[in-house]
Amino acid sequence: MFIKKHPSQNELNELFEYRDGMLFRKKSVQAKHGKIGDRVGFQHSIKYRYVCINRVPYLEHRIIWIMLNGEIPSDMEIDHIEGRANNIENLRIASKSQNCHNRTKYKCNKTGFKGVGKRGNKYHANIRVNGLLKHLGDFDTPEQAYEEYKKAAMIYHNEFANF
């Protein structure tokens, strides 16, 4: 697997200024939109913002993290605590597994509750722990199943639990 090397903290701080979750250009570049003080980056679909450095796109939240905290270990990711805001207070370092715990319910979820599915006339609660699906029980209502999921998420996912 190819892992893209990010520019160093010093290089990034020479290029950009961080303000309120956004990056602004410190140096002008030879392009139509490259003036000092301009906000850098572009929104890719509905997901994340990217910043191009020497024509290579990087995720804006990773650039912000490196600028303010230094390098990201190769086995770690940057997790948004809530939503997709890139304010440094909303970013934290996480393993891939921890980052997945913080996801919202899947779009295909028909019960309306994360960790809850329906089989027959019963609702079941499940949670992923160390990559394995753990069955938490069968319940009469989706609300009961979700309460069980939330208890388990607090135990297994700690601060990465997302309701």
The label of the residue with tokens 């949670």 reads 127
Q: Are strands 16-19 and 56-59 parallel, antiparallel or unpaired?
A: unpaired
Q: Residue 1: inside a domain, yes or no?
A: no
pLDDT of residue 28: 74
Q: Give me the CATH number covering residue 21.
A: 3.90.75
Task: Provide the pLDDT for residue 65.
Answer: 98
Calculate mean pLDDT across residues 4-16: 92
Helix (H, G, I), strand (E, B) or coil at 43: strand
Is residue 60 situated within a structural domain?
yes
Residues 83 and 140 in one domain: no
Residue 25: which domain range? 9-98
pLDDT on residue 31: 59
66, HSE (Cβ side, Cα atoms, 13 Å): 25
What's the whole-model pTM score? Answer: 0.78
Q: Structural domain tally of the chain?
A: 2
Tens-place pLDDT, residues 85-114: 999 999 999 998 888 887 777 777 788 899
Residues 114 and 93 in one domain: no
Same-domain status, 94 and 118: no
Matching residue, tokens 């002008």: 28
CATH of the domain at 133: 3.30.730.10
- pLDDT attached to residue 107: 75
Cβ-contact 95, 78 below 8 angstroms: no
Q: Is residue 163 a part of any domain in this protein?
A: no
